[in-house]
């Protein structure tokens, strides 16, 4: 098996050892001082690769200045230009950044044009030493792929293989692939399919893992830990990002924990020591009511350590249907823990693994330089006002350019449209546009209630 190692600046991705940890600035790249400050904070927290929004040529110029100023300070952390759509911007960025993140399928509607532009970008990258991340997201697959496979893990894998073949035809192997989704089942399935496909083809390219739009707080951490650990413990994944709708610096300790705990060749999160017992529901003697329950004790130093360890240990068997529930005894040395906290964790874990939905499911992007409003606080407010909508899938996205595509299977969406303006979506359709931000949550609730009254929509998650 040929294993490709990709150089991103001085960092090697795809070798042995633990996954490389990365994050992304949520500053405007044009705000050079704020971006440098956040890069320094991320570097000091332990980020090994840092990505910045680079949507236009002005941002490419700003990226050059940011890179030079960081290097002057002795910070060599590789910088990645997040480009997405524009071939011209990707080419300009490839002369400055250590890696460009693109979805070549988005370069042009015509697939042959997109292929030609991808080939030209490769020729620039070969000269400049820049690597490429081909980022395929659930929800933003091209029409051609969706027509053949649907918006499915199979479609995500097929799209990735197509661009791998294209890179190979052009004699370029410095590519990293990501297949992100906010749905932990879709995400793990897609990466496993691609990994198997690469084994069949005889060449393993490095994989960038992430649960996109994972949200914030315990929920975001648990969702990420569940899916990333499931893959890392199988040896799948070479670099990871934990996307949180919070200050990106908060992502780093979480990602470092997961990467260290699930390092290849360690036993940190193997299933072997889990005690799985069949339990029959007392209320019924029906054989179908038997469930497999994992019973586990934790003696840990902090609540944060508990949720991350337990998510890495217990998430994969729940996700893969080897167990149905968990029963935990937890002792935290530094702080008292109430039984309600353990039950809350259990609910979050069952929801992250999509076994039981006890509250609304939220899809919230981490925000980036394209976000023009206070995403963190708005998301908290949306959660507070919609907490009664169990079974609904609600998205809060930072921008209109990528938000509607990336919210994938959300039922309703609150999408930032510009400065203090918001669009409200039902599925893929914008129902209200340019709503002033102060009225937007009311409008969202109004739409959901009206749809429910008119029986236009029923919650699907349960
Ligand atoms: S949806 Fe828009 S604002 Fe949110 S992370 Fe993606 S590009 Fe940035």
For 91-110, the pLDDT digits (tens) are 999 999 999 999 887 888 88
CA distance linking residue 336 with residue 303, whole number of Å: 9
- Where does the pLDDT of residue 287 fall: very low under 50, low under 70, confident under 90, or very high at 90 and above? low
- Residue 365 near ligand 1, beta carbon < 6 Å: yes
Please, are residues 18 and 44 in contact by the beta-carbon 8 Å criterion?
Answer: no
CA 220 to ligand 1 centroid distance, Å = 16
CATH of 2-259 among 1.20.1440.230, 3.40.50.300, 3.40.50.10070, 3.20.20.20: 3.20.20.20
- Residue 206 near ligand 1, beta carbon < 6 Å: no
- Residue 210 near ligand 1, beta carbon < 6 Å: no
Q: What pLDDT was estimated at residue 268?
A: 54
* Better-scored residue on pLDDT, 45 or 458: 45
CA 21 to ligand 1 centroid distance, Å = 20
Quick one: average pLDDT of 322-346?
Answer: 92
Beta partners for residue 231, in sequence order: none
CA 403 to ligand 1 centroid distance, Å = 6
CA 371 to ligand 1 centroid distance, Å = 7
Residue 17 has pLDDT above 90, yes or no: no
The ranges assigned to domains in the chain are: 2-259, 275-352, 361-453
Q: Which residue's CA is minimally distant from atom 2 of ligand 1?
A: 399
Q: Which residue's CA is minimally distant from atom 6 of ligand 1?
A: 402
Q: What pLDDT was estimated at residue 334?
A: 83
Residue 218 has pLDDT above 90, yes or no: yes
pTM of the predicted model, to two decimals?
Answer: 0.93
Please, are residues 23 and 251 in contact by the beta-carbon 8 Å criterion?
Answer: yes
Lowest mean pLDDT among 124-138, 302-316, 327-341: 327-341
Summarize pLDDT for 234-272 with one digit per residue, the tens: 999 999 999 999 999 999 999 999 999 998 656 555 555
- Residue 135 near ligand 1, beta carbon < 6 Å: no
Tokens of 321: 């249907």
CA distance linking residue 210 with residue 219, whole number of Å: 15
- Residue 367 near ligand 1, beta carbon < 6 Å: yes
CA distance linking residue 359 with residue 351, whole number of Å: 8
Tokens of 112: 């042959």
Residue 284 has pLDDT above 90, yes or no: no
Quick one: average pLDDT of 325-329?
Answer: 94
Please, are residues 315 and 226 in contact by the beta-carbon 8 Å criterion?
Answer: yes
CA 422 to ligand 1 centroid distance, Å = 14
DSSP states of 344-363: HHHHHHHHHTTS---S-EEE
Nearest atom in ligand 1 to the alpha carbon of residue 416 is 3
Residue 273 has pLDDT above 80, yes or no: no
Maximum CA extent, the chain: 71
What percent of the chain clears pLDDT 70, i.e. is strictly above it? Answer: 95
Summarize pLDDT for 149-194 with one digit per residue, the tens: 988 999 999 999 999 999 999 999 999 999 999 999 999 999 999 9
Residue 77 has pLDDT above 80, yes or no: yes
- Residue 25 near ligand 1, beta carbon < 6 Å: no
- Where does the pLDDT of residue 46 fall: very low under 50, low under 70, confident under 90, or very high at 90 and above? very high
Q: What pLDDT was estimated at residue 240?
A: 98
- Residue 237 near ligand 1, beta carbon < 6 Å: no
Kindly tell me the burial class for residue 284, based on how many C-beta atoms sit within 10 Å of its own C-beta (0-12, 13-18, 19 or more). exposed
CATH for 361-453 is 3.30.413.10
Q: Which residue's CA is minimally distant from atom 5 of ligand 1?
A: 367
Q: What pLDDT was estimated at residue 289?
A: 65
Report DSSP state, residue 10: T
- Where does the pLDDT of residue 277 fall: very low under 50, low under 70, confident under 90, or very high at 90 and above? confident
Nearest atom in ligand 1 to the alpha carbon of residue 26 is 8
Write down the mean pLDDT value for the chain: 92
Residue 457 has pLDDT above 80, yes or no: no
CA 379 to ligand 1 centroid distance, Å = 14
Quick one: average pLDDT of 364-368?
Answer: 91
Quick one: average pLDDT of 338-366?
Answer: 95
- Residue 371 near ligand 1, beta carbon < 6 Å: yes
């Amino acid at each position: 098996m040929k294993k490709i190692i990709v150089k991103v600046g001085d960092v090697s991705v795809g070798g042995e050892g633990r996954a490389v940890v990365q994050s992304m600035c949520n500053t405007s790249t044009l705000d050079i001082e704020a971006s440098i400050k956040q890069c320094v904070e991320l570097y000091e927290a332990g980020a090994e690769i840092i990505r910045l929004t680079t949507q236009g040529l002005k941002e490419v110029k700003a990226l050059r200045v940011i890179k030079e100023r960081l290097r002057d300070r002795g910070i060599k952390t590789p910088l990645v230009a997040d480009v997405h759509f524009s071939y011209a911007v990707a080419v300009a960025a490839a002369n400055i950044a250590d890696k460009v993140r693109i979805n070549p399928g988005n370069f042009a509607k015509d697939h042959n044009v997109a292929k030609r532009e991808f080939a030209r970008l490769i020729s620039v990258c070969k000269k400049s030493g820049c690597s490429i991340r081909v980022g395929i997201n659930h929800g933003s697959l091209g029409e051609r792929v969706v027509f053949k496979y649907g918006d499915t893990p199979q479609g995500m894998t097929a799209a990735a293989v197509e661009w791998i073949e294209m890179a190979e035809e052009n004699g370029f192997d410095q590519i990293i692939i990501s297949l992100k989704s906010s749905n932990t089942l879709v995400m793990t399935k897609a990466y496993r399919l691609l990994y198997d496909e690469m084994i069949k083809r005889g060449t393993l390219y490095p994989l960038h893992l992430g649960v996109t739009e994972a949200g914030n707080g315990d929920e975001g951490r648990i969702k990420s830990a569940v899916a990333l650990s499931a893959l890392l413990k199988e040896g799948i994944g070479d670099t990871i990002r934990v996307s949180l709708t919070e200050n990106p610096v908060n992502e780093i300790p979480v990602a470092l924990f997961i990467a260290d705990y699930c390092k290849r060749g360690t036993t940190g999160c193997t299933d072997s020591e889990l005690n799985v017992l069949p339990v029959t529901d007392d209320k019924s003697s029906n054989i179908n009511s038997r469930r497999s329950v994992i019973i586990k004790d934790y003696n840990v130093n902090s609540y944060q350590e508990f949720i991350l360890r337990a998510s890495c240990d217990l998430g994969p068997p729940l996700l893969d249907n080897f167990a149905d529930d968990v029963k935990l005894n937890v002792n935290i040395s530094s702080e008292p823990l109430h039984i309600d906290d353990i039950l809350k964790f259990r609910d979050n874990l069952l929801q992250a693994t999509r076994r039981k939905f006890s509250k609304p499911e939220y899809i919230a992007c981490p925000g980036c330089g394209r976000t023009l409003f206070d995403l963190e606080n708005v998301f908290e407010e949306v959660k507070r006002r919609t907490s009664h909508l169990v079974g609904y899938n609600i998205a809060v996205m930072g921008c209109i350019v990528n938000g509607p595509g990336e919210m994938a299977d959300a039922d309703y969406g609150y999408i930032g449209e510009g400065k203090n303006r918001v669009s409200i979506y039902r599925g893929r359709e914008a129902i209200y546009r340019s709503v002033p931000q102060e009225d937007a949550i009311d409008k969202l609730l109004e739409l959901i209630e009206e749809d429910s009254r008119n029986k236009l929509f029923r919650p699907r998650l349960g």
